[in-house]
Structure 1
Amino acid sequence: MTTIRVVTFNTWFGGHDDFGLGAGDRWRGQIEFLKSLEADILALQECNFWDLLGNRRMYQTLNALELGSAYLAYANETTSGHRFHSVIMLGRRVRLAAQGADRDRYHHVMGWANLILPGLDGLLELRNLHLDPFDPRNRAREVSPLGVLAAPGRRSLVVGDVNTIGLEYPEPDWRQLSAHAVNGQLRLPREDQVSDRDATELLARAGFTDASHPFHQEMAATAGFGDGDVPRRQDLILMSPALAPALIGYQVHLEPVNKGLSDHGAASADFDLSRVA
C-alpha cells in the first residue's frame, strides 16, 4: 500500500498540566485521540520535559501509540525557562535515511528527517516547525532557508505550528486578544495593522502549497482556542510542487479542543505516493 498519513499536533505543554510539570490526564486523552488517526508520520510540538530521564516521556508516547521510531529535537530555552521540544514519530512502514535538528536559526527548534517511503522513488524531506510566537521578523528569517525544498523534483513537507496566520484565513478581530500578545500577530508598527503573514507568504512564493486548499479547508481554525485567545489557522501541512500530486485527503481534527486536551486541533493529510512520477 502506497498511501501514507501525515499528522501535525501541538500537545500544549506535552499534555501535562502546570506547564508540563503536573498531571498527565490530557496526555492520556491525547494518546487515545492520536492513536485513532493512525499516522505514518507524526509531527508534535511543545513536548516540554519529554527529554528528561533519557527521553522517558517521548518513549512512553511512542510505545503507547505503537509507532516504530521517535526523534526529539531539543529546543532552546525561552526567557521563562521553558524548552518547547518537538518530536517526529514514524510508523513501521517508514524508514529513516537521516535526521537531525537545527536550533541556531530558530526561536525554539526545527526537527528534520529524510524518509524512505513505500512506493516513492527517492526521499521525502520533512521539516517540523514551531516558529517564533513573538517576532514576525524572526519568523520570516526562520523559514527563509526552506524555500530550496520546493525546488523542481524535491519531494518535501513543511509542517507544524507556524505561529502565524495561514494565507487564505480571514483577518481575525485581534481586539479580542490581550494587548501584550498583539505584537506577535500584527505587522510591525508604521505598517498596516493587519496580521503578519510573511512566513507563509515566503513559503508560498517559493512554491509550497497548503494541503487544505484543494479541500476548501483553508478557513478552518486550528489554534487559539484558549481563554482570551482568538481562533486562527496556524497548524499547517505544506507540500512542495513535486509532492502535491500525491495529495488525496485533508482534515482538521478539533477533538483535542472539544475535549480540553489542547488549545490546538490536529491537521492530517493523506498522500498516495504512487501518483508521484
Structure 2
Amino acid sequence: MGFFNNPCEILRTRRLLALGDFNSISAAKVDDGHGGLRYYDDEPYTEMDHDDLEFQVQASTIGTTQLADRRPTETLLRKGYMVDAAAHLGAPWEPTVGHWADGQGDPDPWGPRRIDLILASRSVAPALTGYRAHRSPAAEAASDHLPVFADFDPSKVEAQTGTSGPPITGRRANGVPTGICSSTTSRRSGTSPAPTPRPSAVTRS
C-alpha cells in the first residue's frame, strides 16, 4: 500500500495500482474494429431522466446527449500514464453495480454500470495477466458493488530508474499548478534511485 501526501509523488511513482469505487464511467478506449477508437464503456445515461443526473453526466449535455462525465479517469489515463486493466486486456465487459434495488423497491435508476476500476501505471501494465468482476449470490447480497480482481506477473513489471522524473508540464498537473512538480528529488531522502518494491496501491472508497 502506498501513501502520498503530495499529488506530485503519485504522478512520479513508476509502479502504481489504483483501484476502488471511482463513481464515474471510465475514459478508457479500445479499438473499434474500423481503424478508430471507441470507449470501452458505452454511454449509459443517454435515455435516463431523473434528478441526480447532474452528478454523473457532463452538465452541458443534460437533457440532450447526456454524456458521462469521464474526467476522473481521463486525467489518469492521459498519454498512457495509466491503463484501465479491463480495457487494456480486452476483458469481456462486466458491470460492477446495478444489481441492487433502491430503497423504494424499484430497479436501480442508474442501471448496470462499471464504476469500480483497477488502473495500472505504464510500468505495471505489461505485467497484467487477468481481470474479472466477481459475481455470486453472496457477493450480490453483500454489497451494491461487486469486487473486481486483477492478476499480474511481478516478473514482468518494468524496471524503474528511481522515483524522480522530469518536470511535469502543462497548465495543471493532477490539480497542482505548473511548477510545483518540477523537483527531481526522490520521495525518499536524497536523490539515489529507490529500491525495487512491489507496485504501490492507491485505493478509493
- Normalising by structure 1, report the TM-score: 0.43
Give secondary structure in 2 for the equivalent of 1:222. Answer: coil
Partner of 2:72: 199
Partner of 1:149: 10
Q: Bigger relative contact order, structure 1 or 2, given CA contacts below 8 A and separation 6+?
A: 2
Instruction: Pick closer, same or farther for the CA change 1:204–1:146 going to 2, 3 Å.
Output: farther
Give secondary structure in 1 for the equivalent of 2:55. Answer: coil
Q: Does 1:251 align with 2:112?
A: no
Q: Give 5+ residue unaligned stretches, structure 1.
A: 1-112, 115-124, 127-144
Instruction: Pick closer, same or farther for the CA change 1:273–1:204 going to 2, 3 Å.
Output: same
1:223-262 Cα offsets, whole Å, 9 max, x none, are 1322232110100000011111221111111225764222
Instruction: Pick closer, same or farther for the CA change 1:147–1:197 going to 2, 3 Å.
Output: farther
Instruction: Pick closer, same or farther for the CA change 1:190–1:231 going to 2, 3 Å.
Output: closer
8 A contact 1:150–1:156 mirrored in 2: no
Identical positions, percent: 36
Instruction: Pick closer, same or farther for the CA change 1:233–1:190 going to 2, 3 Å.
Output: closer
Instruction: Pick closer, same or farther for the CA change 1:259–1:241 going to 2, 3 Å.
Output: closer
Alignment of 1:183-262 (within 5 A): 183-189=54-60, 193-205=66-78, 207-217=81-91, 219-227=93-101, 228-229=107-108, 230-255=111-136, 259-262=140-143
Give secondary structure in 2 for the equivalent of 1:263. Answer: coil
8 A contact 1:249–1:269 mirrored in 2: yes
Query: Aligned match of 1:170 in 39, 42, 45?
Result: 42
Q: Does 1:160 align with 2:20?
A: yes
1:181-216 Cα offsets, whole Å, 9 max, x none, are 211111113675211111111111051101112432
**Greater per-residue strand proportion:** 1
Separation in 1, partners of 2:114, 2:77: 16
Partner of 1:119: none
Rg larger for: 2
What amino acid is aligned across from residue 162 of structure 1 in structure 2?
F
Give secondary structure in 1 for the equivalent of 2:59. Answer: coil
1:131-189 Cα offsets, whole Å, 9 max, x none, are xxxxxxxxxxxxxx7576354x6101111000001222011145456x12211111113
8 A contact 2:97–2:144 mirrored in 1: yes
Give secondary structure in 1 for the equivalent of 2:142. Answer: coil
What amino acid is aligned across from residue 213 of structure 1 in structure 2?
A
8 A contact 1:253–1:265 mirrored in 2: yes
What amino acid is aligned across from residue 70 of structure 2 in structure 1?
R
Instruction: Pick closer, same or farther for the CA change 1:275–1:161 going to 2, 3 Å.
Output: same
Partner of 1:89: none
What amino acid is aligned across from residue 10 of structure 2 in structure 1?
L
1:83-104 Cα offsets, whole Å, 9 max, x none, are xxxxxxxxxxxxxxxxxxxxxx
Instruction: Pick closer, same or farther for the CA change 1:204–1:214 going to 2, 3 Å.
Output: closer
Separation in 2, partners of 1:243, 1:200: 17
* Corresponding pairs, count: 135
Q: Does 1:182 align with 2:53?
A: yes
RMSD: 2.8
Instruction: Pick closer, same or farther for the CA change 1:258–1:239 going to 2, 3 Å.
Output: closer
What amino acid is aligned across from residue 212 of structure 1 in structure 2?
A
**Greater per-residue helix proportion:** 1
